[in-house]
């Protein structure tokens, strides 16, 4: 039996919830809901449409006759007309008034906006749960010193919890962008073929107020506060790029987290969850690869790059419209949502089950801490009567010697070198006391508490009804 290409976003990665949101069932049921909203609004504004016709349409919203629609599309070469005919076959009484005064963009564009709105809602729920997972992790490890890295070279200490707050802060910025986008999302409404509403002016005998009210009524019935005040045949495609930019931004944040975890896994400091029966490599049985974070990175790259598409599409819309947007948008909008959904599924899973190896973290800290402690040692030695310039030069020489020895695989012997130099007037025990890692983490624990209290907790309280979600990965 032959098998044909199946989109991995559907087969392997995205959730059932997001797949349903962009399914043919929801798409075409939404078309029918829009036709009902149009008929209801036209009836309320005085057109001769009966309640019986509307009830008939409502009775067939979900039972979409796909086979009829497919057959009609082969005849018409027009997807909207095919579904009008298919709906009319189910609703013979309503058939004469389905799609009255509308153009194809009435169902196509408005549905795209509705699906993006609902998709953002799914994304928001998952985003909030990732933030909550990372918050718990940050609080648990707010005091644990760890090496900071700049240029992936050891730098001053931070804490595991403080570093986690950097990941959270990126996601908080994404959430703010998402909220703004949601609040400013507009429906296309009923604008006619080139946005002039000429067909509706004809239906309502040039009564502009009724035509304006028709637009408002449809928006309200579909759950929107407003429509675009002006459009061409389509709504401004800039709205697509604004929505998909949110997904692109989430991918940026997730990519940073995933790469950080992959680096930490290489250091054996922090690792993603690893199942008891999971195989890391088909050849190397000992391998414990960070495959979930690697998959996140791959999907993030896909979303970031694909996010260029809506900008080019919006830029290429000629006058009132051109159809070179259609095939592109059919691919880009659902796939970016499915990929972003998959990214957050993995992010939820990984952030819930991060594995910390404290002894490895401590070992790495103590290997580098002697170098970091030299400034404090210098200050204390000067207090005890030493010559600052002379001692600084001694520390420079000892540090270079110790670093060279470490690169040969030997232990860091810097403390012994300093303790053996009488000019420092300090015992080894005194120097070791000055090397408590907690001395070197600055305000890290306090910053974690402040950030969680001032920024994170208000967000989680606002969306507490979403908390507690988990993600079961297919692979």
Catalytic residues: 151, 281
| 425 in Cβ contact with 386 (< 8 Å) | yes
Q: What is the CA radius of gyration of the chain?
A: 31
Take residue 386 and report the two structure tokens written for it. 């030493």
Q: Is 407 exposed, middle or buried (0-12, 13-18, 19+ CB in 10 A)?
A: exposed
Q: What is the 3-state secondary structure (H, E, C) of 88-113?
A: HHHCCCCHHHCCCCCCHHHHHHHHHH
Residues 6 or more apart in contact with residue 39 via CB below 8 angstroms: 49, 53, 54, 57, 94, 97, 98, 100
> Residue 146 has what DSSP assignment?
E
Burial class (CB in 10 A: 0-12, 13-18, 19+), 284: exposed
Instruction: Give which of 6, 13, 230, 34 is closest to 113, Cα–Cα.
Output: 34
C-alpha torsion 71→72→76→81, nearest 10 = -140
With a CB cutoff of 8 Å and minimum separation 6, the contacts of 294 are 258, 262
CA torsion, points 48, 49, 50, 55, in degrees to nearest 10?
180
Burial (CB count <10 Å: 0-12, 13-18, 19+), residue 367: middle
220, 246, 317, 321 from 343: Cα distances, Å: 33, 13, 31, 33
The CA angle 146-152-153, to the nearest 5 degrees, is: 75
Vertex 327, ends 324 and 329: CA angle to 5°?
95
CB 36 within 8 A of CB 54: yes
- In this structure, are residues 399 and 374 in contact, taking their beta carbons and an 8 Å threshold? yes
SS3 assignment, position 149 = strand
Q: Is 468 helix (H, G, I), strand (E, B) or coil?
A: coil
Q: At what angle do helices 24-44 and 66-76 cross, to 10 degrees?
A: 80
The burial of 101, by beta-carbon neighbours within 10 Å (0-12 exposed, 13-18 middle, 19 or more buried), is given as buried
Place of tokens 């979303």: 303
């Amino acid at each position: 039996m032959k098998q044909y290409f199946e989109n991995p976003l559907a087969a392997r990665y995205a959730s059932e919830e997001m797949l349903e949101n962009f399914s043919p069932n929801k798409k075409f049921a939404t078309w029918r809901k829009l036709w009902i909203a149009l008929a209801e609004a036209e009836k309320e504004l005085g057109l001769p449409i009966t309640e019986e016709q509307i009830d008939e349409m409502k009775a067939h919203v979900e039972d979409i006759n796909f086979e009829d629609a497919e057959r009609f599309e082969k005849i018409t070469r027009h997807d909207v007309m095919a579904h009008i005919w298919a709906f009319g076959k189910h609703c013979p009484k309503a058939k004469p008034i389905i799609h009255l005064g509308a153009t194809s963009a009435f169902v196509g564009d408005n549905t795209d906006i509705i699906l993006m709105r609902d998709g953002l809602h799914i994304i928001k729920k998952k985003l909030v749960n990732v933030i909550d997972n990372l918050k718990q992790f940050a609080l648990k490890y707010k005091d644990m010193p760890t090496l900071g890295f700049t240029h992936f070279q050891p730098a001053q200490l931070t804490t595991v919890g403080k570093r986690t707050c950097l990941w959270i802060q990126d996601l908080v910025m994404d959430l703010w962008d998402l909220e703004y986008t949601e609040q400013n999302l507009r429906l296309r409404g009923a604008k006619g073929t080139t946005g002039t509403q000429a067909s509706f002016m004809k239906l309502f005998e040039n009564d502009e107020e009724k035509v304006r009210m028709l637009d408002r009524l449809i928006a309200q019935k579909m759950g929107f506060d407003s429509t675009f005040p002006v459009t061409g045949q389509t709504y401004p495609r800039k709205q697509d790029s604004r929505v998909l930019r949110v997904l692109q931004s989430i991918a940026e944040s997730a990519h940073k987290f995933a790469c950080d975890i992959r680096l930490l896994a290489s250091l054996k400091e922090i690792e993603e969850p690893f199942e008891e029966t999971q195989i890391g490599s088909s050849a190397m049985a000992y391998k414990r690869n960070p495959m979930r974070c690697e998959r996140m990175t791959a999907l993030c790259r896909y979303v970031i790059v694909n996010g260029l598409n809506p900008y080019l599409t919006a830029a290429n819309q000629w006058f009132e419209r051109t159809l070179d947007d259609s095939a592109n948008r059919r691919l880009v909008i659902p796939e970016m949502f499915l990929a972003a959904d998959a990214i957050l599924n993995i992010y939820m899973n990984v952030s819930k089950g991060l594995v910390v190896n404290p002894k490895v973290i401590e070992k790495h800290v103590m290997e580098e801490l002697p170098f970091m402690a030299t400034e404090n040692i210098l200050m204390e030695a000067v207090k005890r009567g030493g010559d600052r310039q002379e001692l600084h030069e001694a520390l420079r020489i000892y540090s270079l010697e110790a670093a060279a020895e470490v690169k040969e695989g030997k232990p860091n012997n810097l403390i012994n070198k300093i303790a053996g130099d009488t000019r420092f007037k300090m015992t080894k025990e005194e120097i070791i006391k000055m090397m408590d890692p907690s001395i070197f983490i600055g305000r890290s624990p306090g910053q974690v508490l402040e950030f969680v209290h001032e920024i994170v907790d208000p967000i989680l309280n606002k969306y507490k009804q979403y908390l507690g979600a988990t993600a079961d990965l297919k692979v």
